[in-house]
């Protein structure tokens, strides 16, 4: 069969990895796909850099539209990132009848509905395995591997930078700022780390997973996003003493009231496999009604792991390129005319368990006041410990784990507790999930 | 689109689960597949039982050939198990132009080459996600999700019964026989547990994984198989003290000399995720050259989890039923005319690390003799501890962990050590893998 010609937009970290993997494993890939897959055109603003990578084995241009419109290109790979230029190029490629492979989670989470609709109209595929979990084939698992299941929930470590920071904080007893510096030193965090540490990147990825799991449109704007920058060493240590690890999880769950879509630091029992995922690795736990809990683990970022997903998509698209479009796996796992309109719940409507920590004056009656307020808000306590933060302290830390409670009620109780004269500095609240 | 008609052979544990999942999630599955998938014929020797499950919603027969030959059937699901009847039926279904979905690892590991060749000739698909790792979509991950990679090795906990027994032995300090009894009591082990505890079932599954990973034919007969029945509490405890867990792993690895294909108890560093997989759960670690290590975890057996995989295959086959056969994913991941003939290595040619334990007289010079023998066989020691098995004992246990060594050399050294007058009862050897 005739080779598949790929046009590559962006030959930076992931693009360079894709060039590398596709060339290095060309033989193995052809043995699998049944035909050669080769990058014949590359577009990059840094044209000299692009030339130095490609070494004459593909046509290089600084004008990406040359690639999206080239008659000799079957599949366009978008690895530029960002929302604006990337969006124009992806839509231009679709308009010109090209299949698209992209790693761009920000683009899909915010403009995915529009992009998939355009692709649908032109009978082309938009593949995006690399958008979530780097090289972990989690998109394929959700779209195909678990297709027998009614998915109940997903909980994932889907941002390696935050997971590295949390691992460092726990392992070495570092403060957040010191752990962030270490991550930056190692190249795991950018100079402006906001997207990673404030949960935005994770929320992009979770939005995609949620759409695939439940057959709903992408609704990034409705995601609740809370990062790790306010976590303290003390909370990580207290959680540890209670048998929990704190992880930044993206959680999406189908409930009777609607779909939960939330990213936040989460206490997880240390016995769970996902609690033991350390450093920049990612892991996604998926609970299906038939299969039960399943977990997918691997490198969530990096040149070669992400390229692994990009190239797997190229093989998939290659296989389906002649297939009847009706028989392809739908972009969002469910047939586009069969999407559901289940609403995304506000965080106030979420019901989960909580870790609550407050620093209080060490005198009689305080605990009675606190527990009374919790009881008034229908919050029942599962476990409680009292800690002395330092020698001769006149204050103690009270840490409570609650049973299932409604977030709205927890907010109300926290506000009332913070007003107690014996309580200093408000209440620290971290959500807790059993993940069973 | 018109519904897909499925014929089910065997409506026992997995067959019943398949019936259940396909009916319960019919709506969700149709939203994904774009057409209904329904079981219209069922064959089972226990015809009354079959009727009581099906309740008139499918035609029931005790003659399986009625189903494999029925004109109105598109896909035949074989869930009978075993080699002989199942083989005849699968080949008969293929002969009649039916696609086949099977969970039968024993059949595929021993007759897969013949079955896939027959399917190839008739342009039909044989799907077998349920044959390895129950509901974990590991076949899909290997055949499709990791298609960009040159797979380097796979190490998997692929027999839940053995993993449960090992978990019980470690957790509760039980002897093998007591843990086996507990597994039987809970229905995890059969009355004759040989297939599970002696590694035969794991070797069947590993044979399939190895073929998919490396593009080689199924070669079950060449697999090295060693079970867990001779493991002692002491070895599990000593391994724990050294920071290791003992797991029954199926390991297949591509080396310069050939392909390793071996099932045996293995020491794994306790920090590895796979070392923390407990009870009847399965997990498969796959190392690709681009993606690095990835892990897939879930229920490896049971009615509903296995049905999850069977039904996922039904959806896949449904999608590809009208596709050009050339564009389907090849049965063994690689195009049938592009399989490799890399040889399977004998266990003697394997190079790995070892845990060696010997009970010796507590007197000077013994250790010198032992270490001399090891050095003669080019085996270097990474760590060593000496243990007193009981109070007032005149013998001590010596436990050594070796660096990489050739199994042939280890065998020779073990034979020589066993002949030392100070050594009682031979040398216990357990292989050790770092899994990095």
Q: Which residues, including other chains, have CB under 8 Å from residue B149's CB and lie 6 or more apart?
A: A21, A25, A28, A308, B288, B289, B290, B291
Size of interface A-B (CB pairs under 8 A): 238
Q: Does some domain include residue A283? A: yes
Nearest to residue B297, comparing CAs of A336, A199, A435? A435
Please compute Rg for chain A using Cα positions.
24
Q: Does some domain include residue A196? A: yes
pLDDT score recorded for residue A326 = 80
CB contact under 8 A, A137 and B148: no
Torsion of CA A42, A43, A46, A49, to 10 degrees: 0
The pLDDT mean for chain A works out to 96
Q: Are residues A240 and A273 in the same domain?
A: yes
To the nearest whole angstrom, how far is the Cα of A4 from the nearest Cα of chain B?
13
**What percent of chain A stands above pLDDT 70?**
99
Per-residue pLDDT tens for B245-257? 999 999 999 999 9
- The arithmetic mean of pLDDT across residues B86-91, rounded, is 98
- A245 CB neighbours in chain B (<8 A) are none
CB contact under 8 A, B297 and A294: yes
- B21 CB neighbours in chain A (<8 A) are 148-149, 290
Number of structural domains found in chain A: 3
Identify the closest residue of chain B to A142 by CA–CA distance.
Answer: B137
To the nearest whole angstrom, how far is the Cα of A170 from the nearest Cα of chain B?
15
Q: Does some domain include residue B416? A: yes
CA A280 to mean position of chain CA atoms:
13
- The arithmetic mean of pLDDT across residues A125-147, rounded, is 98
Helix, strand or coil, per DSSP, at residue B124: coil
Substitution target from A6, A145, A329 for chain B, most B beta carbons within 10 A? A145
Per-residue pLDDT tens for B138-188? 999 999 999 999 999 999 999 999 999 999 999 999 999 999 999 999 999
In this prediction, residue B269 has a pLDDT band, given cuts at 50, 70 and 90, of very high
In this prediction, residue B221 has a pLDDT band, given cuts at 50, 70 and 90, of very high
**Model confidence, pTM:** 0.97
Q: How far is CA B186 from CA A284, A436, B165, B190, B333, in A?
A: 29, 21, 11, 10, 37
In this prediction, residue A388 has a pLDDT band, given cuts at 50, 70 and 90, of confident
CATH at A116: 3.40.50.720
Q: Does some domain include residue A344? A: no
- B309 CB neighbours in chain A (<8 A) are 148, 291
In this prediction, residue A391 has a pLDDT band, given cuts at 50, 70 and 90, of low
Per-residue pLDDT tens for A202-246? 999 999 999 999 999 999 999 999 999 999 999 999 999 999 999
State which of A127, A156, A173 marks the end of a domain: A127
State which of B83, B102, B127 marks the end of a domain: B127
- B147 CB neighbours in chain A (<8 A) are 29, 32-33, 311-312, 315-316
Q: Which of A144, A277, A297 is the closest to B316 by Cβ? A: A144
* C-alpha span between B231 and A36 (Å, rounded): 49
Q: Are residues A247 and A290 in the same domain?
A: yes
Q: Which residues, including other chains, have CB under 8 Å from residue A182's CB and lie 6 or more apart?
A: A165, A168, A174
Q: Which residues, including other chains, have CB under 8 Å from residue A419's CB and lie 6 or more apart?
A: none
* C-alpha span between B432 and B147 (Å, rounded): 29
pLDDT surpasses 90 at A91: yes
Q: Which of A295, A304, A312 is the closest to B298 by Cβ? A: A295
- State the burial class of residue A3 (Cβ atoms within 10 Å of its Cβ: 0-12, 13-18, 19+): middle
pLDDT score recorded for residue B391 = 66
Q: Does some domain include residue A45? A: yes
B40 phi, psi to nearest 5 deg: -110, -15
* C-alpha span between A323 and A124 (Å, rounded): 11
Q: Which of A292, A298, A308 is the closest to B148 by Cβ? A: A308
Q: Which of B29, B140, B299 is the closest to A144 by Cβ? A: B140
Give this complex's ipTM: 0.97
pLDDT surpasses 70 at B282: yes
H helical segments located in B72-216:
84-95, 105-121, 138-140, 160-172, 176-185, 194-197, 200-214
Q: Are residues A13 and A89 in the same domain?
A: yes
Nearest to residue A343, comparing CAs of A207, A217, A224, A225? A217
- The arithmetic mean of pLDDT across residues A92-121, rounded, is 98
Identify the closest residue of chain A to B285 by CA–CA distance.
Answer: A297
pLDDT surpasses 80 at B37: yes
pLDDT score recorded for residue B156 = 98
Q: Does some domain include residue B43? A: yes
To the nearest whole angstrom, how far is the Cα of A415 from the nearest Cα of chain B?
40
Active-site hit among A140, A205, A253, A287: A205
Q: Are residues A273 and A360 in the same domain?
A: no
Q: Are residues B123 and B152 in the same domain?
A: no
**For residue B93, how many other CB atoms are within 10 A of its CB?**
31
Q: Are residues A103 and A193 in the same domain?
A: no
Identify the closest residue of chain B to A314 by CA–CA distance.
Answer: B148
The pLDDT mean for chain B works out to 96
- The arithmetic mean of pLDDT across residues B232-250, rounded, is 97
**For residue B322, how many other CB atoms are within 10 A of its CB?**
11
Q: Which of A34, A215, A314 is the closest to B335 by Cβ? A: A34
**What percent of chain A stands above pLDDT 90?**
92
CB contact under 8 A, B140 and A145: yes
Per-residue pLDDT tens for B359-417? 999 888 999 999 999 999 999 999 999 987 676 778 899 999 999 999 999 999 999 99
Q: Are residues A146 and A75 in the same domain?
A: no
Per-residue pLDDT tens for A405-434? 999 999 999 999 999 999 988 999 999 999
Q: Does some domain include residue B343? A: no
Instruction: Give the domain extent around A223.
Output: 138-299
To the nearest whole angstrom, how far is the Cα of A436 from the nearest Cα of chain B?
12
pLDDT score recorded for residue B364 = 87
CATH at A363: 3.30.70.260
To the nearest whole angstrom, how far is the Cα of A309 from the nearest Cα of chain B?
7
CB contact under 8 A, A305 and B290: yes
pLDDT score recorded for residue A327 = 81
Q: Are residues B35 and B104 in the same domain?
A: yes
Buried b (16+ CB within 10 A) or exposed e, B283-306: bbbbbbbbbbbbbbbbbbbbbbbb
* C-alpha span between A405 and B23 (Å, rounded): 34
CA B374 to mean position of chain CA atoms:
33
Q: Are residues B50 and B109 in the same domain?
A: yes
- The arithmetic mean of pLDDT across residues A341-365, rounded, is 95
CB contact under 8 A, A334 and B21: no
Identify the closest residue of chain A to B1 by CA–CA distance.
Answer: A326
pLDDT score recorded for residue A364 = 87
Substitution target from B128, B294, B340 for chain A, most A beta carbons within 10 A? B294
pLDDT surpasses 70 at B226: yes
Q: Are residues A64 and A196 in the same domain?
A: no
pLDDT score recorded for residue B323 = 78
Q: Which helix (H) or strand (E) holds B37?
A: strand B37-43
Q: Are residues A163 and A185 in the same domain?
A: yes
Q: Does some domain include residue A333? A: no
Q: Which residues, including other chains, have CB under 8 Å from residue B191's CB and lie 6 or more apart?
A: B184
Q: Which helix (H) or strand (E) holds A150?
A: none
Q: How far is CA A11 from CA A19, A51, A186, B394, in A?
A: 8, 10, 22, 68
Structure tokens at A312: 């797997």
The residue assigned the tokens 């724990």 is: B240
CATH at B182: 3.30.360.10
Q: Which residues, including other chains, have CB under 8 Å from residue A258's CB and lie 6 or more apart?
A: A342, A343, A344, A345, A349
To the nearest whole angstrom, how far is the Cα of B30 from the nearest Cα of chain A?
9
Torsion of CA B127, B129, B131, B134, to 10 degrees: -150
To the nearest whole angstrom, how far is the Cα of B235 from the nearest Cα of chain A?
23
* C-alpha span between A340 and A334 (Å, rounded): 9
In this prediction, residue A387 has a pLDDT band, given cuts at 50, 70 and 90, of confident
**For residue B323, how many other CB atoms are within 10 A of its CB?**
17
Q: Which of A296, A311, A323 is the closest to B148 by Cβ? A: A311
Substitution target from B145, B216, B277, B339 for chain A, most A beta carbons within 10 A? B145
Question: Is beta strand B292-299 parallel, antiparallel or unpaired with respect to A292-299?
Answer: antiparallel
pLDDT score recorded for residue B325 = 81
The set of catalytic residues of B is: 205
CB contact under 8 A, A32 and B328: no
Nearest to residue B335, comparing CAs of B325, B349, B323, B350? B325
Identify the closest residue of chain A to B274 by CA–CA distance.
Answer: A273
Q: Are residues B17 and B105 in the same domain?
A: yes
Substitution target from A147, A247, A303 for chain B, most B beta carbons within 10 A? A147
Q: Which of A289, A294, A298 is the closest to B291 by Cβ? A: A298
- The arithmetic mean of pLDDT across residues A357-383, rounded, is 95
Beta bridge partners of A287: A153, A293
* C-alpha span between A73 and A353 (Å, rounded): 52
- A310 CB neighbours in chain B (<8 A) are 148
* C-alpha span between A6 and B245 (Å, rounded): 46
């Amino acid at each position: 069969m005739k080779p598949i010609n790929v046009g590559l937009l962006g030959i930076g970290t992931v693009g360079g990895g894709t060039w590398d993997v596709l060339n290095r494993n060309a033989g193995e890939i052809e043995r699998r796909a049944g035909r050669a897959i080769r990058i014949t055109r590359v577009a990059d603003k840094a044209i000299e850099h692009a030339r130095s990578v490609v070494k004459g084995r593909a046509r290089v241009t600084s004008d990406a539209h040359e690639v999206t419109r080239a008659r000799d290109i079957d599949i366009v790979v978008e690895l530029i990132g960002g929302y604006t230029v990337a969006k124009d190029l992806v839509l231009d490629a679709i308009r010109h009848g090209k299949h698209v492979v992209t790693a761009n989670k920000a683009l899909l989470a915010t403009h995915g509905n529009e992009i998939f609709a355009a692709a649908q109209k032109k009978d082309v595929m938009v593949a995006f395995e690399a958008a979530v979990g780097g090289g972990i084939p989690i998109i394929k698992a959700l779209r195909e591997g678990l297709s027998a299941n009614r998915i109940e929930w997903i909980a994932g470590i889907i941002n390696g930078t935050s997971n590295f920071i949390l691992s460092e904080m726990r392992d070495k007893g570092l403060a957040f700022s010191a752990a962030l510096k270490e991550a930056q030193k190692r190249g795991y965090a950018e100079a402006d780390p906001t997207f990673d540490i404030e949960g935005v990147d994770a929320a992009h990825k979770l939005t995609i997973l949620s759409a695939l799991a439940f057959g709903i449109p992408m609704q990034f704007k409705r995601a609740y996003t809370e990062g790790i920058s306010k976590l303290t060493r003390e909370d990580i240590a207290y959680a540890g003493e209670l048998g929990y690890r704190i992880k930044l999880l993206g959680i999406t769950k189908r409930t009777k009231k609607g779909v939960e879509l939330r990213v936040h630091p989460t206490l997880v029992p240390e016995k769970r496999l996902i609690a033991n995922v350390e450093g920049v690795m990612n892991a996604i736990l998926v609970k299906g009604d038939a299969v039960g809990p399943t977990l997918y683990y691997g490198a969530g970022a990096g040149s070669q792991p992400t390229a692994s997903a990009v190239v797997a998509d190229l093989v998939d698209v290659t296989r389906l390129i002649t297939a009847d479009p009706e028989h392809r796996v739908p972009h969002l796992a469910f047939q586009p005319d069969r999407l559901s309109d289940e609403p995304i719940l506000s965080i106030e409507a979420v019901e989960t368990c909580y870790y609550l920590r407050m620093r209080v004056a060490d005198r009689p009656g305080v605990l009675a006041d606190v527990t009374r307020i919790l009881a008034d808000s229908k919050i029942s306590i599962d476990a409680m410990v009292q800690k002395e933060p330092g020698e001769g302290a006149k204050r103690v830390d009270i840490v409570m784990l609650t049973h299932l409670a409604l977030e709205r009620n927890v907010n109300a109780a926290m506000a009332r507790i913070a007003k107690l004269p014996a309580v200093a500095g408000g209440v620290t609240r971290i959500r807790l999930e059993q993940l069973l």
